[in-house]
Amino acid sequence: MRQNWWKFLGIALLIYTVVIGMSTPLKPGVLRIDPLSIGQNGNDSLRITHGETHKFRVKGYNTNFTDNDNTAWLKLDSIGAVMANKVNIVNDTEIDLTFDIPNHFPSRDTFESLTLVLYNKEDGTAILPDAIFVKSDLTRGDNIAEWEVNPIANLTDKPGMQFPYRSVLHETIRNTFFHIPLWFSMFILLVVSLVYSVKYLRSGNLQHDIYASALVNVAVLFGILGIITGSLWAKYTWGTFWTTDVKLNMSTVAMLIYVASLILRSSINDIDRRAKLSASYNIFAFAALIPLVFIIPRLTDSLHPGNGGNPALGGEDMENTLRMVFYPAIIGFTLLGLWMSSALIRYEVLKDKWMSRG
């Protein structure tokens, strides 16, 4: 039992991932803002001219407007903000705000985009970037005092752990703990498999060949699960299960390369030759995988994060609350994969023994 600690660790980490990853609430956010004074046009943003008074209905997500003292601002970047002069609570997730749009704007840009900032004590701060576009072509910014009457102040965060609210992702942000760790652990399994293939070619020990092929089997399974979770994610964020995006298609080709290696194995009967050929092909396949997954998608435009200049996991692209589940999930999936391949290895070794006995 003692040498099995890593299997229990893997399962514990996966249980942690599912429980914490699924039960932690999202931060309060703003779903949409609709104009009540103009007539609804169904868009998230609308055009408004300077110097007018407008009433908006704001739909919140995970918010508690009732029984709270709500404040709201429309913020013009780096200049200041105007505070809502009337706040009407409809229910917990709906609120009506009335703003006096100032007469003066600091620049002569045709449009200014304003960010909506909502605050109450219980929910902390909720933000909708580019909530409203205001037409500001006539006035010149010599008088920006209106922007500085009620500055944004005294904001606090909601206490406790929440995942960030992102406008397109919404609740699907939890897929971060499944889709990405599945690909990561697939890659780790392939690297381990590569090591065993090299070991086999150097030693000729058939055990190493069985290790390498079992790891490839599990890695292909993880890759297919990675494609399925990614496809579901794409359905809810990009609106389609599959696009012509490079990253998606290159990953599929990578899967084809490894599925082909499994077919190659099954097409050879001689054990030693099978081991030698599949080890050679495995090494070669890994070399071909690098341009497919890491070079080509970075060269072309892509919707997928981490390619074509899109943000992904680095620095400020991911919040620490996500990382608290994301990294354990990677380790958990990798350990699960190793466990699955060790079961496969035992099966193959037993089968070989049985066969050789006749």
Partner 1 sequence: MYICTMNLSHVWAIIKKDVDIELRQKYAIGGTFLFAITSAYIIYKSFGELKAMEWNILVWIIVLYAGLNAIVKSFIQESKETYLYYYTLFGPLEVIVAKLIYNYLFTLFLSLVVVGVFSVLLGNPIEDVSLFMKALLLGTLGISSVFTFVSSVSGSTSSSATMMSILSLPLVLPSVLIMERTTAVAMRLINDSERYEDLVILAGIDLLLIGMIVLIFPGLWKE
Q: Which residues bind partner 1 (CB under 8 A)?
A: 201-202, 250, 253-254, 256-257, 260-261, 263-264, 267-269, 273, 276-277, 279-281, 283-285, 287-288, 290-292, 295-296, 299
Least Å distance between CB 317 and partner 1? Answer: 25
Least Å distance between CB 273 and partner 1? Answer: 6
Residue with Cβ nearer partner 1 (17 or 282): 282
On whether the CB atoms of residues 228 and 317 are closer than 8 A, the answer is: no
Least Å distance between CB 267 and partner 1? Answer: 5
Residue with Cβ nearer partner 1 (161 or 271): 271
Strand 80-83 with 29-35, pairing: unpaired
Residue with Cβ nearer partner 1 (89 or 293): 293
Residue with Cβ nearer partner 1 (206 or 253): 253
* Residue 351 to residue 353: CA distance in whole angstroms: 5
Residue with Cβ nearer partner 1 (27 or 274): 274
Q: Which residues pair with 155 in a beta bridge?
A: none
Least Å distance between CB 262 and partner 1? Answer: 11
Residue with Cβ nearer partner 1 (149 or 295): 295
Least Å distance between CB 259 and partner 1? Answer: 9
On whether the CB atoms of residues 247 and 238 are closer than 8 A, the answer is: no
Least Å distance between CB 220 and partner 1? Answer: 13
Residue with Cβ nearer partner 1 (47 or 273): 273
Least Å distance between CB 252 and partner 1? Answer: 9
